[in-house]
Structures are given as C-alpha cells and as structure tokens.
Structure 1
C-alpha cells in the first residue's frame, strides 16, 4: 500500500493502556493459521468487519487476491488474543471491490457458527454521521507496542484526534472523503497487528484501521482509517445488519 512517495505499512497500538475485561466486547482477533493477523469488529452474531488487506494481497498485475478462507478463524470474548473467549471458523469473506491505494480498505467475514452474546461478546452499532474535525476517538488492538517489538498479549487502547481533509493532505498528500486521518503524538497510535481494528466514538464504530505512513509506525504522520459513514451501503449489502 502507498499514499504518496512516503511508503505505508500494515497497521500496528503504541504506548496504549490495558483494556478492562468487557470494555470492548465487540472486538475480535482475526487469526490466520493460528496466528493473530488483525483486529475486527462484530457487526452481528454472524458477521465481522475488518480491513481488506487482512484477507488478501495484490499480485504483480494489480489484481487483489483473496487468501484461503479455510485458514481463518476469529477469537471473540477475550482480551488475550492467545487464549480465552471463543474461537469461530470463518465460512467466507469479501473485500471491498474498490479497495486500492489505501482507500476502501474494508472486508466482511461471515462466521460458520453464530456467536452467543454475553458481557464480553456484543455487536457494535455503526456510526452514520461524519465525525467533526478535532474530535477525540478511541482505538484498540493487539498490535506491536513498539515499532519493532512483539504483539501485545493483552488488548490495548488509546486515543487519536480527527484531522481535517486539508490537514491530512498537507501531512500525507492524500485527500479523500472515505478516510479519516487520525493524529496522535509521536511513538503512539496503531502498529503491526492493529489493522482492521476499530475507531470508536460514543460506543459506535466510526472507522476501521487501514494504513500508516512512514518508515515504521509511530512516526510524525497521521494514521489512516476507513470511514464507516461513507461505506454503510456496502457493509449492509454484504452482511445481515
């Protein structure tokens, strides 16, 4: 992925806080071949929303190739991506057909068996509005806690602020109504393993972690998130909400 001459890399939460049990009951670990790959958010007891690049890749001709769905599971209901909660197999998934150049980076996973809701497993409501510039949102995930460190075992969270489109362009030369640029201090924010995870405001899902810009995460560029409000029709068309 790239947004400009500056390279972007897969998402990873730096300098976050340990989440309390049940604080983010909608978040899941998206697992490939037994290893945590990305975050995701529960849309319903059968569907999870994540990032497109979590389930596929572009080949040399620019075609997006889905990976083998049989190798994917999700873990729900646990703050630890290695244990606890429940494991559900993924029956099928779909990536947004317009995903390219860091835009429309969304995927939906359909589970083979329905999740059973509890205090630690719940669906999240989608935000239908545009979040005002300067608003503080919460992000969460199991990504690296330092640019070249290991994944967090315990779920982490922190906050970032919504930048204007013009400020986003000034920073990373990208202007789109379909993303939020989220600002944070240097050495904070998303890192590897946080892709597909949520940005939340007032208990609603406002965006999905998509990309970072720079040599590694935590540098002085905003983080890129796919905006929910401009993708509502696509999400509803590919899920049961």
Structure 2
C-alpha cells in the first residue's frame, strides 16, 4: 500500500555504508551534475550531515521546505554551497556557511497528506561571495502559471531507492511538469493546486526520494517548485512528486527577505 511521506532525512540516519560496502545511490534515475552547472543548489545540514536540499536566492538567503527547519538546532545548522561534492559528515571551511536564523512558514501544516505551506527560509550569518559556482536562482513570479507539459530539472542529493543512502555527487534529472488538474487527480485531491505542483512521469522511474526535501525544481533556469512530499515507493508510476508552488509564496518570500 502506498503511503504519503515527506522526503526529509534526519542526521542520525545518514549512514553511508551497508555491510561495510560503500553504496552510491542518487535522485531516482538521475545523473551526476558538474561543478557550476547548478550554482544555486545547496545542502542544508545539521551537525555536518545532509538533511535537505535548498537553493540560493540571495547572498544571505536559502530557500527550502518548512519540514527541513529545526529552529532549536540553529547553532548546529550549516549550508554547503558552491560544490557538487556532498562531503557528508565533514564541514569543509571553504564551502560551508553558518546559519543565524531558521524561518518556517507560520501556517505550515505538518499533517499528512497535504502538508500545506511547506516552505522555509534560512538566513546565513555572513553573505556569500558570488562567482561561477555560487549564484542565486531566479524565482517564479506571483502571476506565473504552472508550466504544464514543459521539462523541468530537479537536483539533489536524495536516495535513488527507498532505504538507500545519500550520494557523494549532486544528481540531476529531467521531469515533466503536470498541469494543475492532472496533479490534483493523480493524488486524488490530496495535492492542492493553489499551493502545490507536480513533476514526474506517468510511467514512473524518475523523481525525488528521501533526502531531496527542500530542493529546487526549475524550468528554463527559474525555480517553480520546492520538493515537499511524495508516496512510497519513490517515483512510483502514477504518483508524481509534489512540490510547494513558488509562485504562491512569492510575496511571503519578499516580505521575509526583501528579495
């Protein structure tokens, strides 16, 4: 039986080996990204371990999912940026930013299956220095319609399969953006079209999994979605991944960040 689930991976579960053998899974059916191809992609970390994905939207601001926000752990939160190499459990000084504030949407509904308002922000202690490998992503505007039928790109360090592990290299996968109606129908009304959009393939086999939460879904370089929830098994046929719709929260983002 399918069950709805958030795609979060807590730090105490980030094990990189099985029976002593290293395994390298990834976004379901993704491929390795190269440094600089997605300069906005970051790893949100607690105690040095990957928890969620996120995107750079300003020199001191990261966009992620609300369920990736643990306000009580702000002093143990960091953001890995400017590299495709996860370096899980390590905190390379040149690629790690300290966090000063964690903001969860005040109307986030942490209840299955809808998880409405699943959006959060991370404020960094010091501004990032932009270069070829560190850049903010463009955000969909409030009036932007869902780009139904277009090809989107999801990037993240999530599992390739259920009960897998995080990969070392950032993964990329192309997904089809569903129309609002198709998204609503695929999830039998549990995906709410005013706050959600869907991406995947009817036949399944590609998409998000555990560890991809908070990561960006872009279309032609503009972020339209934030990984929120899906059903198990990951990328199952008929059940596209569900994303928080950036256009719905554009004003909220501006009110909190000025961006």
Scaled by the length of structure 2, the TM-score of the pair is: 0.83
1-side partners of 2:186 and 2:222: how far apart? 27
Q: Look up the match of 2:148.
A: 133
Question: Which one of the candidate residues 112, 120, 124 is aligned to 2:125?
Answer: 112
Once the 2 structures are TM-superposed, how far is the Cα of residue 72 of structure 1 from its aligned partner? 0.6
Name structure 1 gaps, 5 residues minimum.
57-65
Once the 2 structures are TM-superposed, how far is the Cα of residue 6 of structure 1 from its aligned partner? 5.1
1-side partners of 2:254 and 2:129: how far apart? 21
Aligned partners of 2:46 and 2:73 also within 8 Å:
no
Aligned partners of 2:2 and 2:233 also within 8 Å:
no
2-side partners of 1:78 and 1:162: how far apart? 27
Question: Which one of the candidate residues 87, 90, 103 is aligned to 2:99?
Answer: 90
**Corresponding residue SS for 2:214:** coil
**Corresponding residue SS for 1:92:** strand
Q: Look up the match of 1:49.
A: 63
Aligned partners of 1:207 and 1:226 also within 8 Å:
yes
Q: Are 1:211 and 2:229 matched, yes or no?
A: yes
Instruction: Provide the aligned C-alpha RMSD in A.
Output: 1.7
Q: Are 1:154 and 2:172 matched, yes or no?
A: no
Once the 2 structures are TM-superposed, how far is the Cα of residue 68 of structure 1 from its aligned partner? 1.9
Once the 2 structures are TM-superposed, how far is the Cα of residue 131 of structure 1 from its aligned partner? 2.8
**Corresponding residue SS for 2:247:** coil
Aligned partners of 1:47 and 1:240 also within 8 Å:
no
The 5-angstrom pairing of residues 169-208 of structure 1 reads 169-173=184-188, 174=190, 175-184=192-201, 185-208=203-226
2-side partners of 1:132 and 1:55: how far apart? 28
**Which segment is superposed worse, 163-172 or 42-51?**
163-172
Could you report, residue by residue, the CA deviation over 1:52-75 in whole angstroms, capped at 9, with x for unpaired residues? 00014xxxxxxxxx4421111001
**Which segment is superposed worse, 157-166 or 222-231?**
157-166
1-side partners of 2:195 and 2:156: how far apart? 22
**Which segment is superposed worse, 198-207 or 11-20?**
11-20
2-side partners of 1:130 and 1:107: how far apart? 22
1-side partners of 2:116 and 2:156: how far apart? 21
Scaled by the length of structure 1, the TM-score of the pair is: 0.89
Q: Are 1:14 and 2:28 matched, yes or no?
A: yes
Q: Look up the match of 1:60.
A: none
Aligned partners of 1:147 and 1:218 also within 8 Å:
no
Once the 2 structures are TM-superposed, how far is the Cα of residue 94 of structure 1 from its aligned partner? 0.7
Aligned partners of 2:118 and 2:228 also within 8 Å:
yes
Once the 2 structures are TM-superposed, how far is the Cα of residue 186 of structure 1 from its aligned partner? 2.2
Identify the structure with the greater helix proportion: 2
**Corresponding residue SS for 2:252:** helix
Q: Look up the match of 1:62.
A: none
